[in-house]
Structure 1
Amino acid sequence: MDLFPDSWAALLNAVAERPDQDFERPSGCTGWLVRDLVCHLIVDAQDILITLATPADTAPTADAVTYWHVQDHPPTGEDPLDALTVRLAAAYEDPGLL
């Protein structure tokens, strides 16, 4: 948890330094623009905060390393959740809103 504020600040700084036209360029993720990737990172950061504020009585199912392990194959951009992220990101017409 100690690294979260530093990571969040780094993300905010990286996004703030980008000119608006960069948000319409392809990212390194198949089928996603930079805008889509930024939106995905913001939503995941919110998920982290929700998770930390939601106690559970069960044992964790992943740790800081295994959470990032891709199970069977790398993402292809064909998952329906990929399309959801793209549609959500498109709602932020002004990159400054992200």
Structure 2
Amino acid sequence: MNLFSHSWAALRTAVAALSDEDFAQPSGCTGWLVRDLVCHLVIDAQDVLITLVTPTTREPTRDAVTYWEVTDTPPAGEDPLDALTVRLAAAYQDPGLLT
């Protein structure tokens, strides 16, 4: 949990330093603006917190080494979940709501 807290604080610090105009700039992720990437990271953080407080007796399917499966090809922006994230981020309109 300490690593999550440290990462979350670093993300919040980085996002707080962004101007409203920065949120409308390309993020470096194909088809995503900075606001889309920030929204994605916030959603993932929520998923982590939900996972941490959801008890289960099942064996883990991943560990710290196997959690990330990196592919050789970057995202093309065609995944339906990519489009969902972009629409969700656009719904915030005011960048302050993402910070």
**Residue 49 (structure 2) aligns with:** 49
Q: Could you report, residue by residue, the CA deviation over 1:66-92 in whole angstroms, capped at 9, with x for unpaired residues? A: 222136854221110000000000011
Q: Could you report, residue by residue, the CA deviation over 1:44-70 in whole angstroms, capped at 9, with x for unpaired residues? A: 000000000001111111122322213
Question: Structure 1 residues 57, 86: closer, same or farther in 2, change over 3 A?
Answer: same
TM-score w.r.t. length of structure 1: 0.92
**Residue 30 (structure 2) aligns with:** 30
Output the aligned Cα RMSD. Answer: 1.4
Q: Could you report, residue by residue, the CA deviation over 1:9-54 in whole angstroms, capped at 9, with x for unpaired residues? A: 1100100001110000001111000000000000000000000000
- 1:35 is paired with a residue whose SS is helix
Amino acid aligned to 1:70: V
**Residue 93 (structure 1) aligns with:** 93
Which ranges in structure 1 are unaligned for 5 or more consecutive residues?
Answer: none
Residue-pair matches, total: 98
**Structure-to-structure mapping, 1:1-80, within 5 angstroms:** 1-70=1-70, 73-80=73-80
**What is the rounded CA distance, in whole Å, between the counterparts of 2:68 and 2:76 in structure 1?**
16
TM-score w.r.t. length of structure 2: 0.91
- 2:12 is paired with a residue whose SS is helix
Give the percent of matched residue pairs that are identical in Structure 1 and Structure 2: 74
